[in-house]
Structure 1
Amino acid sequence: MLIQLDRTQKGRFLYQEIYRQIKQLILNNELRANTKLPPKRELAQMLDVSTNSIANAYEQLLAEGYIYTIERVGYFIEEIEQFDINPNVTTAFPTHLREQPEPPKTWLSLSHMNSNARLFPMRKWLSCEAKVYDRYIEELGEMAHTQGPYVLRKNIAELIYATRGVKCEPEQIVVHATSQGLLERLIRILPENPSFAVENPGYARYYQLLKRHHIQAHLVPLDDAGIDVHHLEQLDAQLVIATPSHQFPTGTIMPISRRVELLNWASRQEDRYIIEDDYDSEFKYETNHVPSLQSMDYNHKVIYMGTFSKTLLPGIRVSYMVLPVKLLESYREMFPLEIQAVNTLVLYTLNEFIESGQYEKHLRKMTKHFEEVRSCLVTELTKQLGDQIIISDVPAGLHFLIEAKSARSYDEIEQQAAKHNVEVYTLKRFSLNPYPLIRENRFIIIGFAYIDMKDIPEAVRRLGCVLFDE
């Protein structure tokens, strides 16, 4: 048995190299089945290593099934079937799938997706995390409830009642890592072949998810009041996904008259529901918050969805939905053993963050900060771009829409944005068919959760180059 040890190799114990070489000899059929291996002491002398190194190598081979032992006789090669290797299968990794490390970003971001992590009170969060070890150490060693820890759901229920008027019991709340994950769960508890309606333009990830599940997804246009309920009534949809508090991406706040129309649409048939995606409603400027659609729902037809990823950090993935009781019963039947998708430590830390008052304090601070950034951005856009743009200055959320009198196509704008090192998204990304794009002007989504105040003049200057400069 030929084994050659490279004693200069760092980071690997000798027994691992012995184990690896014997294993390869077995797989190459150079050591036949039932062949006896040299005794540990004998092989140790041959290789000039300790007996423990041989013992460890043999024990690893034994654990993986490459060898077997007969008491007081020795170690023998196990009978192992040879691999069937297809000569047409390549071992080379496809070039088009290979990823390169991303270089440090030097762009200025007007993205609606990013947030400034430097503004997050990480020390306060870590302090809450430390308290979790004292208060919930037993719970951390157990599987969390499939819908999330009860104490967290109780605090979420109290929070969204106080801030959004949402009326629910903690038992109605389901916690998940993403709103897409919640939608997938929802699909599985609905009757077979449900038909959905989605806003257009709207959240493309929901639309693509429905298409992946081969679910019919009707596209409903918008008007100045939000989703067009008259158009919705012409469809055979059982569920509609809507963003009434801050339409995504146009920013429209749905007025009370349209909200009543939408709720009445749902109430007219037993199997109709509205999925209210309240994704960034925590941020409202100049006036008080607009109550959620769910707060006006007397017929239990609204499935309310919210997230903490906008108010905390995108990397802290915690979303939730509030199910009407009828759907909650179906959910419990479908998912009795489902493993909670969010890290348990994160959930209990979030609970402590809310319970200690740190969440409310952080939210007040960030609302004030974002209001200042938004105001500065609107002022700078008006100053630099003037009557070349029309600003839809809706005082809510973390983005607004501008209409640019640009001769460039959406593709050209995206190319210019990359050239000028500014991160910005156009309406093209959220148009689920070409209809919303058939306009003379170009629509740009301006996010303000990431950018620093000092960078706003330069970001607007670059945006002007992207939209207008030759």
Structure 2
Amino acid sequence: MVETRIQSVHSMDYKYQQIYKNLKREILLRHFLPDQKLPSKRELAKTLNVSVNSINAAYQQLLAEGYIYAMERKGFFVEKLDAFPLSARSPETISPDLEEKSQSRKGWLSFSHMSIDRTLFPFENWLKCEHQALKMRQNMLDDDSSRYPQGIRSVRQTIARLLSITRGVKCFPEQIILGSGTQILLQILDGLIEENKVFALEEPGYQRVYRLLETLRRPVETVRLDVKGISIEAIRRINPSVVYVTPSHQFPTGIVMPISRRIQLLNWASEQADRYIIEDDYDSEFKYQTDAIPCLQGLDTYKRVIYFGTFSKSLLPGLRISYMILPEQLLRIARTRFSFLMQTCNVLTQITLQQFIDSGFYHKHIKSMRQIYETRRTRLIAAMRVQFGAAIKIYGINAGLHFLAEFDTKRSMDEILNRAAQEKLELYSLERCVLKAHYFTKKPTFIIGFANLANGSIDRAVQLLYRAIYQ
């Protein structure tokens, strides 16, 4: 019977591995009964035309994993194993609904607000900085990352200086915590805020943050916007403990919060000791026509602002370096509560980033990209106004890498999105940023990103958009 169960060995595996796999499968299928004796090593080797050593290696592996047991001078026997229920047996292939679906974007044009133009990234300068970092600090690569739970201190010093100059941030390197994304850092912050404290988010706003907070079982309320940004009156009605805002370029509307509203928000936070403001400064490097507006954190004398930033928009999303700046009272809690955490940012990427900033390459790159993106933004807006005329309204154009476009059309949002996909045009609606069902737009409104739209593609992209909306 055994001989019929184990077929000749034809596999790229070592012979003993194939024998081991076949025997294990037969045991799990209960083709071999508990306590049934297996053939001797010599007998099975002769049957399968393999060496005794191959059979012995297979038996030893089965013995180590507990599929069989040995009795001195008697041989090997099948262990008594509970049978898996039929529903628990693994299929040979994964279920179709669990397969990853990857859609080719070859030949597409993109209005994505999440993309940047990676072809303009100065890879040669980055590699030069990486080489210098390796040459000067290669000893850090074999260090346990637990030595730098907040990130390498010299890197945080460089980031603190950069933010002081470019964003008016006031902080010490000790206040900075690096992480491989805003969501990772937000999970750390969640562990610093008392349970059952209510979070308030802008409506419309950042869907990923909203869903993460819900997953963390946080009470979450949404606050409508007015022309100055998040409504202070609505905040007072809801009475949250933490308010999440994007004041320098509200996501997704593009509203820039004026100083009057910023002062109101800071004063609200100062009224109670357990109130905080999370300032997400996600694309603050890009401001057009005027100088960049200093961040909310720099105005905060009450130590109530938790500042989030990222290098995903200014450099590359794939570098996965974000940062959080904590007020001193929360930093003390973090040092006590999360001292065991490992740093999630790659050490080599950290020290390369430091070299990239300190060498002046970062400033040069941002200056160049600001000019390029401003040119694209200006050309795109002009082309859209010519193409759509009075049928379009554009909002939030003075900062960031996207703006909103509202269209006067009889077509529904879904119909436009489907037609855009047929035209190979990547397009996202404002509805993807609606956090709760009470927020609606009267006319189809889209988030128009321009960072990944080269000048030579702008007119074509606008034509495809017109076809999706009207033709």
Normalising by structure 1, report the TM-score.
0.90
Distance 1:378 1:358, change over 3 A: same
2:421 to 418, 423, 427: 418
Secondary structure in 2 aligned to 1:274? strand
- 364-373 vs 349-358, which deviates more? 349-358
Structure 1 gap segments, 5+ residues each: none
User: Is 2:389 the counterpart of 1:382?
Assistant: no
Structure 2 residue aligned with 1:154: 157
Q: Secondary structure in 2 aligned to 1:160?
A: helix
The structural deviation recorded for 1:397 is 0.8
Equivalence for 2:311? 308
Shift of 1:412: 2.7
Which blocks of at least 5 consecutive residues in structure 2 are unaligned? none
Counterpart-to-counterpart distance in 2, 1:286 and 1:198: 29
Tell me if 1:261 matches 2:261: no
One-letter amino acid of the counterpart of residue 446, structure 1? I
Change (3 A) 1:5 1:463: same
Q: Tell me how far 1:453 sits from its aligned partner.
A: 0.9
Deviation at 1:326, TM superposition (A): 0.4
Q: Aligned-pair distance for 1:408?
A: 2.6
3-state DSSP class of the match of 1:199?
strand
Change (3 A) 1:421 1:136: same
Cα shift at 1:4: 2.9
Q: Does 1:461 align with 2:463?
A: yes
The aligned residue for residue 194 of structure 1 is 197
Change (3 A) 1:75 1:165: farther
AA matched with 1:112: H
User: Using the alignment, how far apart are the partners of 1:254 and 1:291 within structure 2?
Assistant: 11
Tell me which residue corresponds to 1:82.
82
2:103 aligned residue = 102
CA RMSD, Structure 1 to Structure 2 (Å): 2.6
In 2, are the aligned partners of 1:65 and 1:78 still within 8 Å (CA)? no
Q: Is the 8 A contact 2:253 2:396 kept in 1?
A: no
2:136 aligns with 135
User: Structure 1 residues 14-23 or 315-324, which shifts more?
Assistant: 14-23
* One-letter amino acid matched to 2:8: L
What aligned pairs does 1:15-414 form with structure 2 within 5 A after superposition?
Answer: 15-27=16-28, 28=30, 30=32, 33=35, 35=37, 38-39=40-41, 44=45, 47-50=48-51, 52-67=53-68, 76-77=76-77, 79-87=79-87, 91=91, 93-144=94-145, 145-392=148-395, 394-414=397-417
Q: Does 1:5 align with 2:8?
A: yes
Of residues 113-122 and 163-172 in structure 1, the stretch that sits farther from structure 2 once superposed is 113-122
- Counterpart code for 2:312: S
Contact 2:394 2:406 in 1 (8 A): yes
Q: For the structure 1 residues 101 and 190, does the alpha-carbon distance in structure 2 shift closer, same or farther, using more than 3 Å as the test?
A: closer
Q: Which residue does 1:14 correspond to in 2?
A: 15
Give the 3 Å change call, closer, same or farther, for CA 460–337 of structure 1 in structure 2.
same
1:266, CA displacement in angstroms?
0.7
Q: So what's the TM-score if we normalise by structure 2? A: 0.90
Count residues in correspondence.
464
Residue identity in the other structure for 1:257: S
**1:263–1:301 CA contact under 8 A, matched in 2:** yes
Q: What amino acid sits opposite 2:196 in the alignment?
A: N
Q: Please give the alpha-carbon distance, in whole angstroms, between the structure 2 residues aligned to 1:258 and 1:241.
A: 14
The 3-state SS of whatever aligns with 1:315 is helix
Q: How far 1:122 sits from its partner (Å)?
A: 2.7
Give the CA deviation at 1:416: 2.7
Give percent identity, aligned residues only: 43
Does the CA contact (< 8 Å) of 1:221 and 1:228 recur in 2?
yes
Return the alpha-carbon distance in structure 1 between the equivalents of residues 224 and 432 of structure 2: 16
Q: Which moved more, 1:456-465 or 1:361-370?
A: 361-370
Measure, in 1, the Cα distance between the counterparts of 2:90 and 2:66: 28
What's the secondary structure of 1:234's corresponding residue? helix
